[in-house]
């Protein structure tokens, strides 16, 4: 599958793409990144230890239960950009950040599929690129109401790529798929219970959408369980680091969108804690260490991170030599270190490790 703007439904021709594409191009601590990896190492992966589970998962991908899901129906062709001005900017920011991370997955998976010969890997990454391409294309369909188009083919060429060894890709991507599931299902349950807060139709798609993300996460769980050294020794520290990095990024980012959460009648803190709870529960399938999210220091330090980040963004003096910025960076580092040195929970990995999306 070629990953181009056209495949993804981004015309990029008639729309004023610059600002939104620029936003998607942003490289900040919080913005979604694009990744590349060691393709030869992926090629050498053997999943024979989990073959039975693997084949079952591949047949789930093959069934492609969401094949018709990501279409904007004929009766929803009107312009849905007329949402209250307070929510408008944060919602657009949410959509752009979502499309960037969907597309980031798509580019990485498609590239792996293209660069490896290992049939198992080719098949898996092909399926996942297919799904992420649909997700990104679907968000672009709704962004057009706002007269916005993120030029995905331009983004592929212009965005900086971060190199991660396969094991880091597995930890990070497993978590972003599972947390993606937890985020989508939590929002969906909220608008299902309270349709009066469903201010945009896209939330209706989240229920089936999140099952794709869940399945992608299952694939990474299998890849990690098929290679036990990835889940031992010094790697436990890496797992803890990635868990915290993913949780902290989400917490800080969500707390920058108070109006969006208010419109959904969600408190960002409660919503985030619920998402962390779901993600922690799911990740018992694969991670021998977990974050003790019930420890009061966890939330206390996340709030502090969010506050410090706000201060950093308000800092008018830019540049490397601003003392104020330097002090804030040090404080952010100390705060993250406090989170890292919190006692983690030990988890005994279950024999039967497949999990069902039951939230
Ligand atoms: Fe996705
Ligand atoms: Fe995904």
Residue written as tokens 């019930």? 294
Residue 252 predicted with pLDDT over 60: yes
Distance 109 CA to ligand 2 centre (A): 10
C-alpha dihedral sign at 165, 168, 174, 175: negative
Distance 106 CA to ligand 1 centre (A): 8
Give kind and range of the element (H or E) at residue 71. Answer: none
Number of H helices, E strands in the chain: 13, 4
Phi-psi region of 295 (alpha: psi -120 to 50; beta: other; left: phi over 0): beta
Distance 110 CA to ligand 2 centre (A): 12
pLDDT of residue 160: 87
CATH code: domain 20-289 is 1.10.620.20
Residue 7 predicted with pLDDT over 50: no
Residue 181 has a CB neighbour count (10 Å cut-off) of: 27
Distance 308 CA to ligand 2 centre (A): 30
Taking ligand 2, which is a single-atom ion, which protein residues have CB atoms under 5 Å away?
Answer: 177, 213, 216
HEC profile of 253-316: HHCCCHHHHHHCCCCHHHHHHHHHHHHHHHHCCCCCEECCCCCHHHHHHHHHHHHHHHHHHHCC
Instruction: Please provide residue 220's backbone torsions phi and psi, each rounded to the nearest 5 degrees.
Output: -70, -30
The angle at the Cα of 169, spanning 107 to 2, to the nearest 5 degrees, equals 15
Average pLDDT on 243-257 reads 96
Average pLDDT on 333-347 reads 97
Spans of all domains in the chain: 20-289, 292-346
Distance 194 CA to ligand 2 centre (A): 26
Residue 137 predicted with pLDDT over 50: yes
Structure tokens at 182: 């937890």
Closest ligand to 219 CA? Answer: 2
Report the C-alpha gap between 333 and 308 in whole angstroms.
10
pLDDT of residue 20: 67
User: Concatenated DSSP letters for 180-216?
Assistant: HHHHHHHHHHHHHH-GGG--SGGGGGHHHHHHHHHHH
CB 10 within 8 A of CB 150: yes
Distance 178 CA to ligand 2 centre (A): 8
Close Cβ partners of 276 (under 8 Å, ≥ 6 residues apart)? 247, 291, 293
Q: What is the pLDDT of residues 284-338, one digit of tens each?
A: 999 999 999 999 999 999 999 999 999 998 887 666 668 888 999 999 999 999 9
Mean pLDDT of the chain: 91
Distance 169 CA to ligand 1 centre (A): 16
Distance 223 CA to ligand 1 centre (A): 19
The pTM of this model reads: 0.91
């Amino acid at each position: 599958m070629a990953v181009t703007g056209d495949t993804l439904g981004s015309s990029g021709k008639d729309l004023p793409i610059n600002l939104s594409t620029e936003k998607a191009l942003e490289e900040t601590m919080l913005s979604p990144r694009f990744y590349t990896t060691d393709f030869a190492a992926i090629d050498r992966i053997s999943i024979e230890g989990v073959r039975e589970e693997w084949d079952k998962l591949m047949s789930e991908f093959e069934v492609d239960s969401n094949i018709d899901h990501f279409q904007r129906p004929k009766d929803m062709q009107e312009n849905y950009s007329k949402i209250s001005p307070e929510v408008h900017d944060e919602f657009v920011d949410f959509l752009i950040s979502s499309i960037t991370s969907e597309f980031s997955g798509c580019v990485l998976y498609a590239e792996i599929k293209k660069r490896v010969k290992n049939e198992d890997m080719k098949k898996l990454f092909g399926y996942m690129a297919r799904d992420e391409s649909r997700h990104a294309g679907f968000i672009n369909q709704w962004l057009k109401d706002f007269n916005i188009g993120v030029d995905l083919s331009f983004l592929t060429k212009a965005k900086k790529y971060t190199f991660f060894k396969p094991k880091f890709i597995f930890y990070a991507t497993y978590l972003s798929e599972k947390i993606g599931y937890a985020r989508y299902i939590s929002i969906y349950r909220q608008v299902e219970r309270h349709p009066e807060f469903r201010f945009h139709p896209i939330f209706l798609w989240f229920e089936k959408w999140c099952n794709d993300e869940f399945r992608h996460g299952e694939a990474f769980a299998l890849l990690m369980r098929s290679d036990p050294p990835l889940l031992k020794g010094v790697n436990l520290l890496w797992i803890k680091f990635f868990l915290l990095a993913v949780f902290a990024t989400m917490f800080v980012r969500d707390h920058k969108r108070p109006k969006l959460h208010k419109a959904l009648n969600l408190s960002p803190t409660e919503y985030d804690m619920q998402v962390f709870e779901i993600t922690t529960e799911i990740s018992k399938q694969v991670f021998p260490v977990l974050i003790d999210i019930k420890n009061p220091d966890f939330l206390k330090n996340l709030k502090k991170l969010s506050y410090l980040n706000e201060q950093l963004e308000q800092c008018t003096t830019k540049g490397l030599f601003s003392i104020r910025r330097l002090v804030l960076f040090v404080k952010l580092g100390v705060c993250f270190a406090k989170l890292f040195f919190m006692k983690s929970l030990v988890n005994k990995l279950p024999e039967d490790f497949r999990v069902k999306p039951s939230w």
